[in-house]
Amino acid sequence: MMQKVVLTGDRPSGKLHLGHYVGSLLNRIQLQAEETYQSYVMIADTQALTDNFERPEKITESVFDIMRDYLAVGIDPERTTIFIQSQVPELAELTVYYLNFVTLSRLERNPTVKTELAQKGFETSIPVGFLCYPVSQTADITAFKTELVPVGEDQLPLIEQSNEIVRRFNRTYNTDILKEATPLVSKTGRLVGIDGRAKASKSLNNAIFLSDSPEDIRTKVFAMFTDPNHVRVSDPGRVEGNVVFTYLDAFHTDFEEVAALKARYQHGGLGDTAIKEILNATLQTLLEPIRERRQTFTHKELCDILQTSTHAARRVAQQTLEEVRNTIGLRYFD
């Protein structure tokens, strides 16, 4: 049976948090368990450098933190090939060839990139590396003959861009060596930050990390945004936009209990302290084994696993690169 290749990854710009856990890690663990899939997980340091090249240590120092997070949540290097992007130089070479198959106006029109450029304040001074990261992603996707790419809704234009390059390459050289990828749109939206902002992230300092101490978790839960009009315990409270309930929905294992809590809160008579205690207990239970498992790996073990699996990823990428070179005709010495 041919396995379908699934590629996911993270930009290493800090430890992983609960947003990553519900947004992608759980999904990866599920996919890894199915025998029909061959999973690759990329630690995208080269991509992260495109908007962090002035502080590379932020990226390079996060690589092993993220690897530790992966293993702690249960990504199994026996089943999933975890690799570091920069250590597969074939990806850079594919990127250079693919740059010929995309026009500047097409890159500038990419909605995902446009939004990110605005967020980063890059509009007037766009680093070319950042503008080109969708081409680098095409190299990542095609190098492993990826068929499925789990993505958020907002990343769909990146898969479209990749498939466009694939089609144009295949058409130009009358070949089918490159494969189009199918996006697997995740049902879970982004996890909000503890402050109620749209996205939990390290830079906004509003995320609960998988590696947070019990005290940090408790402090962050008790700092969560709830309903500003819910002043007295007896007041009716709002559940929509209330971060505690958003997190209970995402992490509490008993849906019925959460529904009952919501009803009481909306009716009046359930205080913020009480629901925060419940959420705190939920998250402590979830994160304790992950935090403990994080400590069971030595740096050398992480290093060995990463080196072995990056080497395995490289062999696959080398083969694809060889096919691409041969297709273009860049083979001079036999």
Q: Which is nearer to a second copy, 139 or 194 (CB)?
A: 139
Q: For residues 7 and 213, give the distance between their C-alpha atoms in angstroms, rounded to a whole number.
A: 31
Q: How far is the CB of 262 from a second copy (least distance, A)?
A: 46
Q: How far is the CB of 107 from a second copy (least distance, A)?
A: 6
Binding span for a second copy by CB under 8 A among 2-10, 126-134, 144-152, 193-201: 126-134
Q: Which is nearer to a second copy, 175 or 284 (CB)?
A: 175
Residues 18 and 29 sit within 8 Å (Cβ to Cβ): no
Residues 104 and 14 sit within 8 Å (Cβ to Cβ): no
Residue 131 interacts with a second copy (CB under 8 A): yes or no: yes
Number of residues that bind a second copy (CB under 8 A): 52
Angle, CA of 214, 219 and 224, to the nearest 5° = 125
Q: Fill in the per-residue mask, 151 to 190: x = in contact with a second copy (CB under 8 A), - = not in contact.
A: ---------------------xx-----------------
Residue 118 interacts with a second copy (CB under 8 A): yes or no: no
3-class secondary-structure state, position 22: helix
Q: Fill in the per-residue mask, 26 to 55: x = in contact with a second copy (CB under 8 A), - = not in contact.
A: -------------------xx--xx--xx-
Q: How far is the CB of 319 from a second copy (least distance, A)?
A: 15
Q: For residues 112 and 108, give the distance between their C-alpha atoms in angstroms, rounded to a whole number.
A: 10
Distances 181 to 4, 143, 155, 156, 241 between C-alpha atoms, Å? 10, 12, 13, 11, 35
Residue 317 interacts with a second copy (CB under 8 A): yes or no: no
Q: How far is the CB of 183 from a second copy (least distance, A)?
A: 23
For residue 39, what are the β-bridge partners?
6, 80
Distances 185 to 18, 152, 154, 255, 315 between C-alpha atoms, Å? 19, 6, 9, 24, 29
User: How many residues can be counted in the chain?
Assistant: 334
- Which phi-psi region, left, alpha or beta, contains residue 271 (left: φ > 0; alpha: ψ -120 to 50)? beta
Cα–Cα nearest to 106, from 178, 45, 168: 168
Q: Fill in the per-residue mask, 60 to 99: x = in contact with a second copy (CB under 8 A), - = not in contact.
A: x--xx-------------------x-xx-xx-xx-xxx-x
Residue 130 interacts with a second copy (CB under 8 A): yes or no: yes
Q: Which amino acid is at 300?
A: K
Residue 121 interacts with a second copy (CB under 8 A): yes or no: no
Residue 272 interacts with a second copy (CB under 8 A): yes or no: no
Q: Contact positions toward a second copy, by CB under 8 A?
A: 45-46, 49-50, 53-54, 56-57, 59-60, 63-64, 84, 86-87, 89-90, 92-93, 95-97, 99-105, 107, 124-132, 135-136, 172-173, 303, 306-307, 325, 328-330, 332-333
